[in-house]
Structure 1
Amino acid sequence: MSDNDTSTTPPRDGIHPLTIIEHSPDPEAADPRENRRPSIAARIRDLGEARKGALLLLIATAAAIAWANISAESYHGFWETQMTIGLGDLQLAFTLHALVNDALMAIFFFTVGLEVRREFAIGELTSWRRAMIPVMAAIAGLIVPAVLFLLISAGSGQEHAWGVVISTDTAFLVGALALIGPKASGRLRVFLLALAVVDDIGALSIIALFYTQNFSPMPLLVAAVGLAGIYATRFLRRGRGPIYATLAIIVWLAFLASGVHPTLAGVAIALLIPVYRPNRRDVEQALELARTFRQSPNSEYARQAANSLRESISINERLQSAYAPYVAYVILPLFALANAGVELSGPILAAAVRSPITWAIVVGLVVGKFLGVFGAAAIMKVFRLGEFGLGLTLDRIAGGAALCGIGFTISLFIVDLAITDEAAQNEARVGVLAASVIAFVLSWAMFRISDARRPDDDGGRTLVRAVDPARDRIYGPVDAPLTIVEYGDFQCEFCLKASGSIEEVRRELGDRLRYVWRHAPLERFHPNALAGAEAFEAATLQGKGAEFSRSLFADQQHQLPSDIIRRARELDLDIDRFERDLESAQVTGRVRDDMLDAEAMDITSVPTFYVNGVRHVGPYDAQSLIRALTEQPA
């Protein structure tokens, strides 16, 4: 059998490609705790952590406002406290406010740069057709707010502060989506994160080009040498950490001396940090060293095992994991505490209401971001440009576009850079805070309307993404009148049992049936299921997907990296190509798409069958499936 995307002939030897042993499935024996999976959003990132970070940022903002209004003198006096660090004649003097905005925020922008680097290397932005929607939406979301700001602020003398309205606060965006987002928001979240990455690139570029003062080029030569050293450090076998840290400090000081805002040093450094998917051979080596340590525990084996395990993960991802808690729980709350202290006295609020700066910011962020992001997405949808995944509908994009009006972190950051007049700064901060509140409430309303418009009783009853011969793994005639779609997991014993039912159904219905396999690995309970799904897709690219799936089902207990490679060798696959495909965006994206589709249809257990486009509920023995196929209109 040719294991391409489609097949119009029965599988070789008359055996279904996903069948090893025929079982009589016993659905009643299934423990529901063993075949439930967490939402895809939880797999992409822990939403609980996102909520905590957003709430802490909100608390810090409220504390800053309360502090500034209770005692403006102590608030400003505290953050203007002078500090000096130096040795001998080398002295560096700065205020606490500058320490937060210039030094700690450099770490924040460093983590932003790491995310940018990762998305372009192995993330959502590797495929242009997939990436063009958030990219174009982000670009429109940068341009439209700036234009509206310039139109409204004309004649105010603060037109140059248009950068305040260009950027979305990624931390608040993720946290707010976790708090008020729609049901099954996984694909929307992927879209918004990709958009936020491009948005951050634009914002950082604008800061560098338009908000750099007293520029001196000579220190940038030192920075260039330091950045070259950071790039070369990846080739060292060990001791990279101290070298990275030393060179990073040198680059930051060079940016500071040049007049270019030193936070951009964080981005420049991050873009040179290597990122790659874990190599299965490295992971297997780490496992072997761990076994050796277990058999003969001593400090040398422990060190080797720890180093091997650490090196199997890219430096980029290790640094993201290391810095993420500090950024979420320390740096961003401190930034909010140092910058959100707006005095909300009657005269200040009255001045803000009359101020064109306040209104330019509110309209730019709330209206401009929505028109830019949603308008660009709607145009691309109408003209069928790019790839909109299941669940990424215009009503949900509308809610996400409204949420993009939360500018907060970078907006307040640029207020400090672009506006020198204290009264105008207060008016601008009032505008940023007001816009963030309005955007949050507007987005909440849109998401609730979006959920209300969807049938309450559907709950994933209907197969939303129709069978696509150009994309799906179809077994049987492409145009067969009867269809079964299974969402399954190669490490799930119930999926193995169900394969016997599928083979029996195929024997009885013959060419009247087409069968489609889609991935829904239960990572929480089957830690190797995702690897098995990706291996199946990589083997399919060499025409051996059917054989590989039979091998996976034949021995569900052995699906470690070494087992995956061994199976590939046994099937005479090109191992080098197989390993490259395992790490490719094509393979990982295909599996992830199935998982996102499953989440959008509220699939929380496997196997889950769709019979002629409708979810099958009840026993999945052969006769039950055949009866459902004949009773359910195609």
Structure 2
Amino acid sequence: MQKSTNKVVKKLLYPIEKFMELETSGGVLLLIVTFVAMSWANSPWKESYKHLIHLPITIGIGSLRLSHSLHFWVNDALMVIFFFVVGLEIKRELLIGELSSPKKAALPIFAAIGGMIVPALIYHAFNANGPGVHGWGIPMATDIAFAVGVITLLGTRVPFSLKVFLLALAIVDDLGAVLVIAFFYTETIIPEALGFAAFGLMAMFMMRYAGIRKHLPYIITGIFVWFCIFKSGVHATVSGVLIGLLTPLTPLYPFKELSEKISTTASLLAEELRRLPENTPSLNSPSKSLLTKLYHYSIEAQNPLDRSIKVLHPWVTFFIMPLFALVNAGVDLSEVSLNSIMSSPISIGVFLGLLLGKPIGVLLASFISVKAKIASLPQNVNWTQMSALGFLAGIGFTMALFISNLALKTPHLEAFSKIGILLASLLASIVGASIFYLIPSSTKKE
């Protein structure tokens, strides 16, 4: 009985464990690429780095053409795929994951809200009347790749329940960041373009309702929705989240029906194979047809949402996010002095927002929700471990850099923000890891 239970638990935890492994590798790669970008931007070849970022790229069909820099195509086009995966993960967590019930969702939601509000308030306190006033959204989000990378390196010192909690918190963080981008970093709105985007989203919903399973119609409609939202004034990456939320979480066939179809098809295939002469070099047409059916059933056994995450997550982790880091993390330090960094309200606000605001917000909101009996701590987790996790939540990179680009707009102001992000993320990871390291791995819940 015990062995059977262990097998079930391992099967349930396997997807999360694989996700953690992928994020760890991605975090290491992001760290390497960030180092390369910083080194390149401050090397004798810095002009080639600037040339790469501003390299013009034209994409179009006939007279319809878009010509923009590599920086634009990475931030406004490729990052749509990143946000699409974010949308998929948000939907999955809301429907069947750690946010699927009020009891499960309470602590991550409270912790994430506290971890967004306090950093924003700290940043605003330093920048209320300055040129960086709009950058309050920069220190709000956690970089899941780096944070998971750190806690995975700590091994058994971090309870698995706390790792799952961090994933759920980061998902709520991402949702908050998406809402901030959509509602607060949109300057002008063109209703007609939004109307066309809504029409495209409705078309996708109708295609799904009609049972269309081919990828091409959805890809074409998705590009149309992206273009319309891009033209509407709302940031184009919002289209990725909306399309992700529309992706179905149910497989094409109910499992009972699927079992019968696979069993029947496999039996027919076995009969066909037995009829073939022993030395036949290839299958006959009925056998090929039955194999195609089995392949179709094996694909459709997974729902489109999980299938999309499985296909796209490696691309996002090992290509899109590193490319984003390459074109966004390079800060030319010759353009800013140490004195200006230390006195800049932007760098101070971002630095303190991430390094202090995140842990204070996460811990305070969690403490209030637990004492009010709205939520409870994860299994085998104490408040010291929660404080360490709060510091790891202060590792802000991908989303922080992304919002920095939207909020500050000028390279000079962005430089102060990026330095604040990088320094705070480095120190937050060191402090968080040190606290975990000082706690005995056998620590029980207080």
- Normalised to the residue count of structure 1, the TM-score between the two structures is 0.64
For 2:272, the equivalent position in structure 1 comes to 296
Work out which of the residue numbers 345, 366, 382 in structure 1 matches 2:371: 382
* CA contact 2:87–2:240 (8 Å) conserved in 1: yes
Q: Which amino acid aligns with 1:284?
A: S
- Work out the CA distance in 1 between the residues paired with 2:8 and 2:299: 30
Cα distance change of structure 1 residues 429 and 421 upon mapping to structure 2, 3 Å threshold: same
Work out which of the residue numbers 278, 281, 294 in structure 1 matches 2:256: 281
Work out which of the residue numbers 341, 349, 356 in structure 2 matches 1:360: 349
For 1:432, the equivalent position in structure 2 comes to 421
* CA contact 2:158–2:441 (8 Å) conserved in 1: no
* CA contact 1:182–1:448 (8 Å) conserved in 2: no
For 1:399, the equivalent position in structure 2 comes to 388
For 2:17, the equivalent position in structure 1 comes to 45
Cα distance change of structure 1 residues 358 and 307 upon mapping to structure 2, 3 Å threshold: same
Work out which of the residue numbers 324, 328, 333 in structure 1 matches 2:322: 333
- Work out the CA distance in 2 between the residues paired with 1:333 and 1:248: 24
- Work out the CA distance in 1 between the residues paired with 2:267 and 2:350: 59
For 1:68, the equivalent position in structure 2 comes to 41
Q: Which amino acid aligns with 1:160?
A: H
For 2:32, the equivalent position in structure 1 comes to 59
The Cα of 1:416 is off from its aligned counterpart by 1.0
Work out which of the residue numbers 62, 65, 73 in structure 2 matches 1:99: 73
- Work out the CA distance in 2 between the residues paired with 1:43 and 1:309: 18
Q: Deviations over 1:258-307 (max 9, x none)?
A: 11111110001111111137943145235413454344352211111111
Cα distance change of structure 1 residues 382 and 452 upon mapping to structure 2, 3 Å threshold: same
- Work out the CA distance in 1 between the residues paired with 2:31 and 2:305: 28
The Cα of 1:48 is off from its aligned counterpart by 2.8
Work out which of the residue numbers 38, 46, 51 in structure 2 matches 1:77: 51
Cα distance change of structure 1 residues 283 and 399 upon mapping to structure 2, 3 Å threshold: farther
In terms of fraction of residues, the more helix-rich structure is: 2
* CA contact 1:137–1:372 (8 Å) conserved in 2: yes
Q: Give the paired residue count.
A: 427
Quick check: 1:130 aligned with 2:119?
no
Cα distance change of structure 1 residues 41 and 64 upon mapping to structure 2, 3 Å threshold: farther
* CA contact 1:145–1:166 (8 Å) conserved in 2: yes
For 1:418, the equivalent position in structure 2 comes to 407
Query: SS of the residue aligned with 1:392?
Result: coil
The Cα of 1:210 is off from its aligned counterpart by 1.2
Q: Which amino acid aligns with 1:296?
A: E
The Cα of 1:347 is off from its aligned counterpart by 4.5
- Work out the CA distance in 2 between the residues paired with 1:39 and 1:228: 36
- Work out the CA distance in 2 between the residues paired with 1:394 and 1:442: 15
The Cα of 1:415 is off from its aligned counterpart by 1.1
The Cα of 1:180 is off from its aligned counterpart by 2.9
- Work out the CA distance in 1 between the residues paired with 2:140 and 2:8: 41
- Work out the CA distance in 2 between the residues paired with 1:269 and 1:67: 36
* CA contact 1:233–1:240 (8 Å) conserved in 2: no
The Cα of 1:215 is off from its aligned counterpart by 2.2
Quick check: 1:146 aligned with 2:146?
no
For 1:205, the equivalent position in structure 2 comes to 179
Q: Deviations over 1:8-29 (max 9, x none)?
A: xxxxxxxxxx79xxxxxxxxxx
* CA contact 1:358–1:431 (8 Å) conserved in 2: yes
Q: Deviations over 1:457-479 (max 9, x none)?
A: xxxxxxx89xxxxxxxxxxxxxx
For 1:313, the equivalent position in structure 2 comes to 302
- Work out the CA distance in 1 between the residues paired with 2:254 and 2:164: 24
Q: Deviations over 1:23-76 (max 9, x none)?
A: xxxxxxx9xxx9999698655232332221111111111111111111322111
For 2:86, the equivalent position in structure 1 comes to 112
- Work out the CA distance in 2 between the residues paired with 1:157 and 1:394: 38
Q: Deviations over 1:490-518 (max 9, x none)?
A: xxxxxxxxxxxxxxxxxxxxxxxxxxxxx
- Work out the CA distance in 2 between the residues paired with 1:237 and 1:37: 34
Query: SS of the residue aligned with 1:261?
Result: coil
Query: SS of the residue aligned with 1:141?
Result: helix
- Work out the CA distance in 2 between the residues paired with 1:241 and 1:452: 47
Cα distance change of structure 1 residues 69 and 383 upon mapping to structure 2, 3 Å threshold: same
- Work out the CA distance in 1 between the residues paired with 2:91 and 2:52: 37
Work out which of the residue numbers 372, 377, 386 in structure 1 matches 2:361: 372
Q: Select between 223-232 and 414-423 the one with higher mean Cα deviation.
A: 414-423
For 2:277, the equivalent position in structure 1 comes to none
Of structures 1 and 2, the one scoring higher in RCO (CA 8 A, sep 6+) is: 2
Query: SS of the residue aligned with 2:440?
Result: helix
Cα distance change of structure 1 residues 207 and 390 upon mapping to structure 2, 3 Å threshold: same
- Work out the CA distance in 2 between the residues paired with 1:290 and 1:263: 44
Cα distance change of structure 1 residues 44 and 155 upon mapping to structure 2, 3 Å threshold: same
- Work out the CA distance in 2 between the residues paired with 1:331 and 1:69: 23
Query: SS of the residue aligned with 1:296?
Result: helix
Query: SS of the residue aligned with 2:42?
Result: helix
5 Å matches for 1:227-246? 227-246=201-220
Cα distance change of structure 1 residues 120 and 35 upon mapping to structure 2, 3 Å threshold: closer
Unaligned runs of 5+ in 1: 1-17, 20-29, 456-463, 466-634
Q: Deviations over 1:344-378 (max 9, x none)?
A: 34943332122111110010011111011111112
Query: SS of the residue aligned with 1:271?
Result: helix
* CA contact 2:24–2:152 (8 Å) conserved in 1: yes
The Cα of 1:152 is off from its aligned counterpart by 1.8
Q: Which amino acid aligns with 1:340?
A: A
* Identical pairs, percent: 35
Q: Which amino acid aligns with 1:375?
A: L
Q: Which amino acid aligns with 2:238?
A: L
5 Å matches for 1:168-179? 168-179=142-153
- Work out the CA distance in 1 between the residues paired with 2:34 and 2:312: 22
Query: SS of the residue aligned with 2:416?
Result: helix
* CA contact 2:226–2:236 (8 Å) conserved in 1: yes
Q: Deviations over 1:371-398 (max 9, x none)?
A: 1111111222333322333223222221
Unaligned runs of 5+ in 2: 274-286
Q: Which amino acid aligns with 1:448?
A: Y
Query: SS of the residue aligned with 2:394?
Result: coil
- Work out the CA distance in 2 between the residues paired with 1:396 and 1:61: 28
Q: Which amino acid aligns with 1:63?
A: V
- Work out the CA distance in 1 between the residues paired with 2:369 and 2:137: 26
The Cα of 1:101 is off from its aligned counterpart by 0.3
After superposition, the CA RMSD in angstroms is 2.5
* CA contact 1:282–1:308 (8 Å) conserved in 2: no
* CA contact 1:65–1:341 (8 Å) conserved in 2: yes
Work out which of the residue numbers 146, 158, 179 in structure 1 matches 2:132: 158
Q: Which amino acid aligns with 2:29?
A: L
Cα distance change of structure 1 residues 291 and 149 upon mapping to structure 2, 3 Å threshold: farther
